């Protein structure tokens, strides 16, 4: 690529990234010429004369005061002409006008740089962003700058300079290639004409690409991601398969966690759109197209919010009306039978090589196959009981997938946790987490637990033990139905509002996890009386012994150094990992006289001071950054903290002792890279003892992350024994900031946004 293009990659374009929507807003221009255009073009000379150019710059919309520039560019060589005109964003909708543009060529480069509204958080971004657009101003006076114009930018440059295409040909090809990179087909307006705040397929496509390119990136990472995608499109005309797979996996998480709903709600709450276009359709179709080549299938809803199938009330369903040709000795008892003798729409899902038993639910006469696995007897089919008169807890707490009774007949019902606890027939019960864990242990000698439990309906299933799990999906509390997975409730609560469940992925993986009690999941009953679950006796009795000195959790094979906090004399072990030196223990500083930011904003887990001795204090984000010290800095006073968004310095000492500071997201990412990457970071950073049910880490690098849990405003606590949460110095908005979560439930660390009022641990890194 020519010198001009390389310069863009190395210079101005480094800042480019966006995931949101661009809004085409027509602003009244100054007095126009005879053809209605303010200023105009001299077609013979190929120049622009006194043109007022209006538009909208959006990721989400760029905020008032953001800088907009227009630069002339030669349509054939892509060299800048040196002509430059400046303007600003006029309001928080992202609208701008650049007046009196005079260019010697009709082609122009538009650049916007500033803060923007983040669709995922709903707040103003913590980092500035730069976006680009290339356009021909010959017949236009409106130019919008958005994610699509930014992604096509480098590709257009290369097609013109390297393949000698005309500017118009390069634009047309690049726009099609960018959309095709996200598996979007259609004949839309040019990218600089699209408006994410209006109806229309093209506008929905723009917003979909914006959402997809966001994925799980934070404000500090988005520009790098867009640079990566732009470079791939510039070189190959498409995204790499690995990038598509990563995005498809994110769609799975975003759909099931409600993030897509949040994006829609945030955009609507700004009040800039009469109707937010249906971007969910394109997001879903992208993931579905990627699924066949993806290492783990994306799990996506079949509907978008507002459609009839997103009703919050359950369908009454219809009884399967199943009859058995085999005898039943007594209600709820098991007799031997072959699965192929049942005239039942679910019969084909069973393993014909397994000798199934059978039971009848005395409440409604439905018949279920049963199977013995290890020392347990399980229903081999999902429960489909729905009588809310006999069982009142079922009322509005059970559903058929997609609110269609045919799915209940095939897959059984989906139940909230409250309903699930009451729904098994006499002689059977909802399994505890222990019992689900035992089930997984019983088939663990197979190559994959999930594959061994899956029926052959799945691409990867072997159904080796006859459990015959089917991809019945689950339902979230807003009415989204997510398929191509299986979720089974346990009777064990994890914390207020959450309970344990077993999740089986399309890829063949399976794990125990935590799900909101309001979600709908399948029920498999297990025979016998309820057995007390060890996890129901209180978290302290599981693994983590709060009385054990924190030094006992360190890795005895690691050489540690020490640092003394001169404010209170406490000593902390430290460890070098890669190019960084970290405290190997959570901070426990609590002097609110010396550090007033701490007053009322730090806690011991459960308000028990002994637990601070074990795992350190939990700090609100305002306390972690020492907001009062920042406000009283004579050189650069900053008003930061909860409800405040500020431009933090590059290094934030915060509550850490002199010579140490609160790490930002980049420093955490550097740590993950130094220990082998995200895929293994959780295992090697977590301590080798103290985690839930001995699901410990290896502590291979001596970091010794402990499951200290969290405190919500110091009033509610949770996550201890299973999660460690650590604040970063990177904020996402007025009320939220990023934290790192290390958990027994996630393969890798999660870097996500949470309210600044939460109490999380602090790990300091050396200056």
**How confident is the model over 529-558, as a mean pLDDT?**
65
By the 8 A CB rule, do 660 and 653 touch? yes
Question: Which two tokens mark 747?
Answer: 């393969």
Closest of 61, 171, 48 to residue 112, by C-alpha? 61
Residue 697: partners with Cβ closer than 8 Å, 6 or more residues away? 682, 683, 684, 685, 686, 687, 688, 691, 705, 742
392: which DSSP letter? G
Provide the mean pLDDT of the chain: 80
Whether 171 and 159 have beta carbons less than 8 Å apart is answered as: no
- pLDDT tens-digit profile of 63-94? 999 999 999 999 999 999 999 999 999 998 89
What per-residue confidence (pLDDT) applies to 740? Answer: 94
pLDDT at residue 448 in the model: 65
pLDDT tens digit string along 668-711? 999 999 999 988 899 999 999 888 767 889 999 999 999 998 88
pLDDT(17) > 80: no
Q: Tell me the C-alpha distance between 612 and 591, whole Å.
A: 13
Residue 110: what are its φ and ψ, rounded to 5°? Answer: -105, 140
Which run of H or E residues covers position 613?
Answer: helix 609-615
d(CA 333, CA 416): 26
Evaluate if residue 482 carries a pLDDT over 90: no
- Closest to 699 (Cα-Cα) out of 562, 590, 550, 563: 550
CB 482 within 8 A of CB 298: no
pLDDT given at position 131: 92
For β-strands 40-42 and 47-56, DSSP reports them as antiparallel
Q: What is the pLDDT of residue 413?
A: 96
Is the pLDDT at 492 greater than 80? The verdict is yes
The three-class DSSP label of residue 24 is: coil
| Cα end-to-end distance, the chain, whole Å | 40
Residue owning tokens 């977590």: 686
User: With bands split at pLDDT 50, 70 and 90, how would you rate the model's confidence at 236?
Assistant: confident
Euclidean distance between CA atoms 301 and 616, whole angstroms: 41
759 band by pLDDT with thresholds 50, 70 and 90: very high
Neighbours of 613 (CB within 10 A): 14
C-alpha separations of 358 from 80, 94, 340, 372, 393 in Å: 78, 64, 12, 11, 26
The first and second tokens of residue 279, run together, are 């971007």
pTM: 0.41
Q: Which pLDDT band holds residue 331 (cuts at 50, 70, 90)?
A: very low
pLDDT at 256: 61
Can you tell me the distance from the alpha carbon of 474 to that of 502, in angstroms, rounded to the nearest whole number?
Answer: 12
State yes or no: pLDDT of 258 exceeds 60.
yes
Cα 204 from Cα 276, distance rounded (Å): 8
**CA R_g for the chain:** 29
Range of 221-225, 277-281, 620-624, 750-754 with top mean pLDDT: 620-624
The 3-state secondary structure of 38-54, one letter per residue: EEEEECCCCEEEEEEEE
The domain segmentation of the chain, as residue ranges, is 3-298, 310-537, 550-766
Q: What is the pLDDT of residue 33?
A: 36
Alpha helices in 60-183 (DSSP H): 147-161, 167-181
* DSSP labels, 589-603: ---TTT-GGGTTSEE
pLDDT of residue 644: 86
Query: What's the pLDDT score for residue 533?
Result: 46
Closest CA to 418 of 451, 458, 391: 391
61, 192, 438, 468, 647 from 111: Cα distances, Å? 14, 12, 59, 56, 22
706 contacts: CB under 8 Å, gap ≥ 6: 544, 550, 553, 586, 614, 615, 687, 690, 724
pLDDT bracket for residue 360 (50, 70, 90): very high
What's the whole-number mean pLDDT along residues 199-228? Answer: 80
- 82 torsion bin: left (phi>0), alpha (psi -120 to 50), beta (else): left
Contact between 630 and 643 under an 8 Å Cβ cutoff? The reply is no
545 pLDDT tier (thresholds 50, 70, 90): low
DSSP H helical ranges for 182-310: 201-214, 222-236, 241-257, 259-270, 279-290
Percent residues over pLDDT 90 in the chain: 43
Tell me: the pLDDT tens digits for 301-320?
Answer: 333 222 222 222 222 222 22
Rounded Cα distance between 274 and 265, Å, is: 13
State the residue for tokens 């609160």.
662
- The arithmetic mean of pLDDT across residues 42-47, rounded, is 53
> Residue 712: its pLDDT value, please?
72
Residue 139, pLDDT score: 87
Q: Assess contact for 297 and 506: CB atoms under 8 A.
A: yes
Q: Which residue, among 723, 711, 520, 682, has the nearest Cα to 605 in the 3D structure?
A: 711
pLDDT at 543: 45
- pLDDT, position 535: 41
């Amino acid at each position: 690529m020519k010198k001009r293009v390389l310069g863009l990659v190395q210079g101005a374009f480094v800042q480019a990234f966006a995931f949101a929507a661009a809004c085409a807003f027509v602003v009244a221009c100054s007095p126009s010429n005879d053809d209605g255009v303010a200023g105009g073009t001299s077609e013979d000379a190929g120049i622009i004369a006194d043109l007022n150019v209006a538009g909208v710059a959006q990721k989400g919309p760029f905020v008032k005061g953001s800088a907009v520039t227009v630069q002339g560019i030669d349509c054939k060589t892509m060299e800048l002409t040196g002509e430059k005109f400046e303007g600003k964003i006029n309001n928080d909708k992202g609208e701008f006008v650049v007046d009196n543009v005079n260019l010697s060529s009709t082609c122009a480069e538009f650049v916007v740089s500033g803060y923007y509204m983040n669709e995922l958080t709903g707040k103003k971004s913590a980092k500035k962003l730069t976006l680009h657009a290339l356009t021909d101003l010959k017949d236009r006076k409106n130019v919008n700058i958005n994610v699509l114009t930014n992604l096509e930018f480098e590709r257009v440059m290369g097609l013109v300079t390297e393949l000698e295409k005309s500017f118009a040909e390069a634009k047309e090809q690049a726009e099609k290639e960018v959309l095709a990179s996200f598996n979007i087909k259609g004949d839309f307006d040019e990218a600089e004409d699209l408006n994410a705040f209006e109806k229309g397929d093209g506008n929905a496509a723009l917003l979909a690409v914006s959402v997809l390119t966001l994925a799980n990136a934070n404000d500090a990472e988005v520009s790098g991601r867009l640079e990566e995608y732009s470079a791939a499109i510039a070189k190959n005309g498409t995204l790499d398969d690995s990038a598509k797979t990563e995005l498809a996996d994110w769609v799975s998480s975003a759909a099931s966690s409600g993030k897509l709903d949040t994006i829609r709600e945030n955009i609507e709450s700004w009040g800039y759109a009469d109707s937010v276009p249906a971007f969910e359709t394109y997001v879903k179709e992208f993931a579905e197209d990627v699924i066949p080549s993806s290492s783990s299938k994306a799990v996506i809803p079949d509907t978008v919010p507002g459609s009839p199938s997103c009703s919050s009330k359950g369908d009454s369903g219809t009884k399967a009306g199943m009859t058995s040709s085999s005898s039943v000795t007594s209600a709820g008892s098991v007799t031997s039978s072959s699965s192929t003798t049942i005239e039942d729409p679910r019969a084909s899902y069973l393993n014909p090589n397994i000798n199934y038993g059978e039971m009848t639910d005395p409440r409604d006469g439905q018949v279920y196959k049963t199977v013995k696995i290890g020392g347990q007897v399980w229903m081999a089919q999902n429960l489909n009981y729905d009588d809310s008169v006999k069982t009142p807890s079922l009322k509005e707490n059970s559903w058929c997938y997609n609110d269609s009774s045919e799915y209940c007949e095939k897959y059984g019902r989906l139940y909230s946790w409250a309903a699930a606890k009451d729904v098994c027939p006499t002689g059977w019960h909802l399994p505890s987490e222990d019992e689900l864990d035992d089930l997984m242990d019983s088939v663990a000698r197979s190559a994959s637990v999930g594959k061994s439990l899956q029926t052959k309906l799945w691409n990867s299933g072997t159904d080796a033990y006859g459990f015959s799990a089917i991809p019945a999906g689950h339902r979230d509390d807003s009415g989204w139905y997510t398929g191509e997975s299986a979720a089974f409730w346990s009777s064990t609560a994890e914390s207020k509002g959450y309970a344990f469940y077993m999740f089986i992925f399309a890829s063949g993986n399976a794990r125990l996890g935590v799900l909101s009690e309001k979600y709908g999941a399948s029920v498999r009953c297990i025979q016998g009386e309820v057995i007390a679950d060890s996890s129901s006796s209180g978290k302290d009795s599981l693994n983590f012994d709060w009385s054990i000195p924190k030094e006992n959790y360190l890795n005895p094979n690691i050489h540690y150094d020490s640092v003394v906090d001169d404010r209170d004399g406490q000593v902390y072990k430290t460890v070098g990992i890669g190019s960084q030196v970290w405290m190997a223990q959570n901070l426990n500083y609590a002097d609110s006289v010396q550090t007033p930011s701490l007053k009322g904003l730090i806690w011991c887990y459960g308000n028990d001071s002994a637990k601070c001795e074990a795992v350190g204090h939990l700090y609100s984000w305002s306390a972690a950054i020492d907001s009062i010290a920042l406000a009283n800095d004579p050189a650069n006073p900053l008003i930061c903290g909860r409800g405040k968004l500020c431009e933090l310095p590059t290094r934030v000492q915060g509550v850490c002792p002199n010579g140490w500071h609160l790490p930002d997201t980049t420093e955490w990412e550097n740590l993950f890279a130094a220990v082998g990457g995200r895929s293994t970071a959780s295992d090697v950073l977590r301590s080798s003892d103290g985690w839930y049910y001995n699901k410990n880490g290896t502590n291979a690098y001596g970091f010794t992350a402990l499951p200290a849990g969290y405190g919500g405003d110091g009033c509610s606590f949770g996550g201890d024994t299973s999660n460690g949460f650590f604040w970063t110095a990177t904020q996402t908005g007025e009320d939220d900031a990023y934290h790192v979560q290390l958990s027994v439930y996630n393969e890798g660390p999660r870097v996500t946004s949470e309210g600044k009022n939460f109490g999380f641990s602090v790990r300091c890194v050396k200056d």
